[in-house]
Structure 1
Amino acid sequence: MSQSPDLARNFNVRTMTAAEVALALDWAAAEGWNPGRHDAQCFQAADPNGFFIGEWQGAPVACLSAVAYDDGFGFIGLYIVRPGFRAMGFGMRIWQHGMAYLGSRNVGLDGVVAQQANYRKSGFEPAWRNIRFQGLVPGADGANVSEVSALPFEQLVAYDSLHFSCERARFLAQWIGQPESAALAVVSGGRIRGYGVLRSCQTGCKIGPLFADDALVADELLRALCARFPGQTMTLDVPETNPAALALAGRHGMARVFETARMYTKEAPALPLGQVFGVTSFELG
């Protein structure tokens, strides 16, 4: 939508402060996205310069995250225009600002069904679908499960990097140590076979990432994580291309409630999706 000169003059995009990242997550909660209780600090650690707020006449009306993980990969999320300020061109302005910040990187996002056609117009192509499952999962302590904090951090980063599009050590350092969470791994023969993180959200808990060498390891981790927060509704976002992950969610009685398309501006990264049993988040990948 074209923007009138008066609207354009009174709209400004700038980098968020730490407090404004928390505000953006409050907006996300109002949209029903159910963010984690401590997402703000973790998200900003990934790229402190990659969170943008749009102000009209000095008041915040739009937000966007455009996290530059490294020189080759970025991820778009938290794309929100407040109700009452939509269809005024503000969304496009902050979108263009974020995409310009990411430059020539391969950019990913998780697009809801209603917006996928618009993302295609901006050069994004679908790679696979992520299916959100929710349910009460009975927990069980696993004999092979240990705390991630007991592992060498470099070993965890190396394992995570096999399953994500790039290294993300700054983000992981915050993600695995956030309050109201659990971060567990299965280690065998001195090697990580899988790990997962559960975090408390506005409602219930989310599990992500859940990376594992096979379905047995993923199952043990899922049940061990759920044992740390018994009686909570669990959310798990599963790549549809991993039938073992779909089966895992179904076996534990989790119901399909939502879907997104993982989309990229360039070729989809060559990830071992058969070992991705839960993506980290729809906001940061």
Structure 2
Amino acid sequence: MAFQQSDYHISVMSRDELQIAVDWANTEGWNPGLDDAASFYAADPQGFLIGRLDNRPIATISAVKYGDSFGFVGLYIVEKSHRQKGYGIQIWNRALEYLKGRNVGLDGVVAQQENYKKSGFKLAHRNIRFAGLSRKSSPVSANMVSLSSLDFGDLCGYDRQFFPERRECFLKAWINQPDCHALGIVENGKLSGYGVIRACRTGYKIGPLNAEDKDLAIELFNALTSRVPPGSALYLDTPEPNARAIDVARLNGMEPSFETARMYTGSFPDIALDKVFGITTFELG
């Protein structure tokens, strides 16, 4: 592959430029949330790169740092007319350099698995996106509360078992974004599950959906979907190893529509995947 030597520059995105990446993600068919850019940027303002050719954006990538040990790559997009010209690998390498020394994860399209392996990524598991329609609302448990009413430190502590590092800045923005509903289940004074549903370019996505067991996950699913109009398009991204998550999707009439490969450069994180019924987002983990 011959790298082009034109006036190509890679820089950290501004908050406004991040919207370019999110818009391109929509063009790729990834159906981002209406307000994703603000929450993404809150996670790590230095973790979003843009490549410009003759001062025109042609490539994007996110490389977000979490805590001291983990990073996540997403939004890796090169404008179609500039693919296979070396611009993508340059911004890719810059992203990995930013995350050097960390275990790095990504949710990549299956067709790119072999390319990611060349950069040291190993397949951990598949993720399956289920699609369906919201149904008529059902009774909501009295234990269901708004996440904003809970102690944020308790939420962060609970979330830690589902993610390789703490992610306070992202989480605060995520549960308070416009066009979303964020709910938790409290049992005996303790959080036993929580979930978020947000408006997307098409329909609504549920993510995360984390709970101590399948019954609680179903309660959360029902409570979240009761907040959107019946007949709305719904999406739930499930980790394939959690068969109970797939059961929740199928019980609600959802069918597989897309899949990704969760991969890591280091050891697979010790997280409670059996309690992850819906992944937060393919872009940021």
Per the normalisation by structure 2, the TM-score is: 0.97
For 1:118 and 1:24, locate their aligned partners in 2 and report how far apart those are by CA, in whole Å.
21
For 1:167 and 1:140, locate their aligned partners in 2 and report how far apart those are by CA, in whole Å.
34
Task: Find the counterpart in structure 1 of residue 281 from structure 2.
Answer: 281
Read off the aligned partner of 1:249 and give its amino acid letter.
Answer: A
How does 1:177-188 map onto structure 2 within 5 Å?
177-188=176-187
Shift of 1:230: 2.1
1:247 aligns with 2:277: no
Task: Find the counterpart in structure 1 of residue 202 from structure 2.
Answer: 203
Task: Find the counterpart in structure 2 of residue 118 from structure 1.
Answer: 115
Shift of 1:269: 0.2
Task: Find the counterpart in structure 2 of residue 169 from structure 1.
Answer: 168
Whether the aligned pair in 1 keeps the contact of 2:134 and 2:228 (CA below 8 Å) is no
Read off the aligned partner of 2:247 and give its amino acid letter.
Answer: A
1:82 aligns with 2:79: yes
2:57 to 47, 56, 60: 60
Task: Find the counterpart in structure 2 of residue 218 from structure 1.
Answer: 217
Shift of 1:259: 0.8
Shift of 1:2: 3.1
- Structure 1: which 5+ runs fail to align? none
Task: Find the counterpart in structure 2 of residue 142 from structure 1.
Answer: 140
Of the structure 1 ranges 44-53 and 143-152, higher mean CA displacement relative to structure 2 is found in: 143-152
For 2:112 and 2:162, locate their aligned partners in 1 and report how far apart those are by CA, in whole Å.
26
Whether the aligned pair in 1 keeps the contact of 2:147 and 2:182 (CA below 8 Å) is yes
Read off the aligned partner of 1:261 and give its amino acid letter.
Answer: A
Read off the aligned partner of 1:215 and give its amino acid letter.
Answer: K
Whether the aligned pair in 2 keeps the contact of 1:140 and 1:226 (CA below 8 Å) is no
Secondary structure in 2 matching 1:228: coil
For 1:185 and 1:140, locate their aligned partners in 2 and report how far apart those are by CA, in whole Å.
17
For 2:228 and 2:170, locate their aligned partners in 1 and report how far apart those are by CA, in whole Å.
23
Secondary structure in 1 matching 2:223: helix
Whether the aligned pair in 1 keeps the contact of 2:63 and 2:74 (CA below 8 Å) is yes
Task: Find the counterpart in structure 1 of residue 19 from structure 2.
Answer: 22
Secondary structure in 2 matching 1:172: helix
Per the normalisation by structure 1, the TM-score is: 0.97
Read off the aligned partner of 1:32 and give its amino acid letter.
Answer: G
Q: Classify 1:20/1:141 alpha carbon distance in 2 versus 1 (closer, same or farther; 3 Å).
A: farther
1:169-218 deviation digits (Å, cap 9, x = unpaired): 00011000000100000000110000000000000000000000000000
Shift of 1:140: 2.2
Task: Find the counterpart in structure 2 of residue 264 from structure 1.
Answer: 264
- Structure 2: which 5+ runs fail to align? none
Shift of 1:111: 1.2
Shift of 1:32: 0.8
Task: Find the counterpart in structure 2 of residue 156 from structure 1.
Answer: 155
Whether the aligned pair in 2 keeps the contact of 1:110 and 1:283 (CA below 8 Å) is yes
Sequence identity percentage = 50
1:93 to 78, 90, 94: 90
Secondary structure in 1 matching 2:18: helix
Whether the aligned pair in 2 keeps the contact of 1:137 and 1:223 (CA below 8 Å) is no
Shift of 1:70: 1.8
For 1:141 and 1:23, locate their aligned partners in 2 and report how far apart those are by CA, in whole Å.
40
Whether the aligned pair in 2 keeps the contact of 1:126 and 1:261 (CA below 8 Å) is yes
The two structures, once aligned, show a CA RMSD in angstroms of 0.8
